[in-house]
């Protein structure tokens, strides 16, 4: 009974040490990444006179997305660091003298990793999409000028399919200098050059007012051009599509599953589930499931550390090798995730990779632990 109680206390402390390091590092790295991204959002939100409140709240809504991205790697670092720290301080030896074998140690840690995997799935399925959608709705309700945020001085920007804009510079009064637009969205191709322009908006319209320039229309190999003193380039339809229509990544998993299995769901009027969207929905659903599957895999390979002692001659080399293998597995997860959903066969193949690696890894660990 005392031995059982001691084992329970040992694992409780071990979980606490992993969790403390994991939460601290996750928060710290998350804040660093968030700060870097927040700097990029500053011009995006405040350039047109919107206050710091809007800037801060919008950037804060992107924090769950950051946590979702870095969580598997930070959990791996936490487990890896804690095991090495226990070995260096001879605390790992306490497990062995209290009757904990290395296979049992692995199984206990795998159970913990399945809990983290479940948390990652919940985060990626609901909280992260919800925060992304809330950010989009907040931009819409705050009337943040989404079009202006896309414009970068001295760069050709593909605002949307078929529409490219180049702005040489932005003046202190908010106007733009030396503007070039290429519009291929309709059956005619149009190129516009203007020496000056500015954005105009009221309840009825939103447009780019252009001054002192030239329009070149190309239709069926015929070229027509004319000079102008002033013209209006309509932006209302572009703005509405950009801000109001949610992306697949911003929809929670329950609605995506309803779409995929063709179950009627009227919760989202703007999210129109049709045949053209099914493939995109499938890819997104696979991504939300695929990456968390690698969490038990990286924990399994981290546990190979307990098979070796710090007193061994090549201990540091073995640590480095295990770290490289796990880091390589994380790269594999990112690469294969991008190609998942292309076809059913590819999907099955990529989903089977972490499962096969886990089975092989567990078998190798079991054999090494038995022979140790």
Asked if residue 305 belongs to a domain, the reply is yes
d(CA 134, CA 137): 5
Asked if residue 166 belongs to a domain, the reply is yes
Residues 26 and 130 occupy one common structural domain: yes
Residues 136 and 183 occupy one common structural domain: no
Residues 124 and 192 occupy one common structural domain: no
Question: pLDDT-based confidence at 233, cuts 50/70/90?
Answer: confident
pLDDT in tens, 322-334: 999 998 988 888 7
Residues 119 and 171 occupy one common structural domain: no
Of the two residues 257 and 364, the one the predictor is more confident about is 364
How many domains, in total, are found in the chain? 2
Question: pLDDT-based confidence at 202, cuts 50/70/90?
Answer: low
Q: In the prediction, which pLDDT does 358 show?
A: 94
Residues 89 and 211 occupy one common structural domain: no
Q: In the prediction, which pLDDT does 28 show?
A: 95
Residue 240 has pLDDT above 50, yes or no: no
Quote the DSSP letter at residue 145.
Answer: -
Q: In the prediction, which pLDDT does 183 show?
A: 83
d(CA 92, CA 264): 54
Asked if residue 304 belongs to a domain, the reply is yes
User: Closest Cα to residue 290, out of 220, 351, 248?
Assistant: 351
* 183 phi and psi angles, rounded to 5 deg: -120, 110
pLDDT in tens, 333-368: 877 777 665 666 677 777 788 899 999 999 999 999
Residues 139 and 233 occupy one common structural domain: no
Mean pLDDT for the stretch of residues 235-243? 53
d(CA 232, CA 218): 19
Which of the residue ranges 51-60, 188-197, 246-255 would you say has the lowest mean pLDDT?
Answer: 51-60
d(CA 134, CA 58): 9
Mean pLDDT for the stretch of residues 160-172? 81
Residues 284 and 310 occupy one common structural domain: yes
Residues 169 and 218 occupy one common structural domain: yes
**Which structure tokens are listed for 139?**
């931009």
Residues 119 and 27 occupy one common structural domain: yes
Domain hosting 192: range is 146-242
> Is the four-CA dihedral 110, 112, 118, 121 of positive or negative sign?
negative
């Amino acid at each position: 009974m005392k031995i059982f109680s001691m084992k329970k206390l040992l694992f409780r402390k071990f979980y606490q040490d992993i969790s403390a390091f994991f939460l601290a590092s996750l928060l710290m790295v998350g804040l660093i990444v968030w700060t870097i991204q927040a700097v990029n959002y500053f011009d995006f939100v405040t350039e047109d006179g919107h206050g710091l409140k809007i800037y801060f709240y919008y950037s804060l809504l992107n924090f769950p997305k950051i946590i979702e991205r870095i969580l598997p790697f930070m959990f791996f670092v936490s487990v890896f660091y804690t095991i090495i720290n226990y070995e260096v301080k001879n605390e790992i030896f306490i497990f062995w003298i209290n009757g904990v074998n290395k296979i049992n140690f692995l199984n206990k840690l795998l159970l913990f990793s399945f809990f983290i995997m479940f948390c990652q799935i919940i985060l990626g399925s609901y909280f992260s999409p919800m925060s992304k959608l809330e950010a989009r709705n907040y931009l819409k309700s705050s009337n943040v000028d989404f079009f202006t945020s896309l414009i970068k001085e001295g760069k050709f920007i593909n605002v949307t399919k078929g529409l490219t804009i180049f702005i040489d510079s932005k003046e202190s009064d908010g106007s733009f200098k030396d503007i070039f637009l290429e519009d291929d969205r309709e059956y005619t191709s149009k190129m516009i050059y203007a020496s000056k322009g500015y954005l105009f908006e009221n309840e009825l319209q939103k447009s780019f007012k252009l001054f002192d320039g030239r329009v070149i229309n190309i239709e069926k190999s015929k070229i027509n051009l004319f000079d102008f003193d002033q013209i209006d380039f309509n932006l209302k339809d572009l703005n509405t599509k950009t801000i109001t229509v949610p992306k697949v990544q911003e929809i929670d998993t329950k609605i995506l599953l309803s779409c995929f299995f063709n179950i009627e769901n009227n919760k989202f009027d703007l999210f129109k589930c049709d045949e053209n969207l099914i493939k995109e929905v499938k890819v997104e659903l696979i991504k939300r499931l695929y990456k968390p599957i690698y969490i038990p895999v990286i924990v399994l390979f981290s546990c190979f550390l307990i098979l070796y002692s710090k007193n061994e001659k090549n201990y540091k080399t073995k640590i480095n090798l295990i770290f490289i293998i796990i880091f390589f597995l994380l790269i594999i997860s990112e690469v294969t995730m991008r190609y998942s959903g292309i076809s059913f066969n590819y999907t099955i193949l990529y989903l089977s990779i972490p499962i096969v690696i886990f089975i092989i890894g567990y078998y190798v660990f079991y054999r090494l632990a038995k022979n140790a």
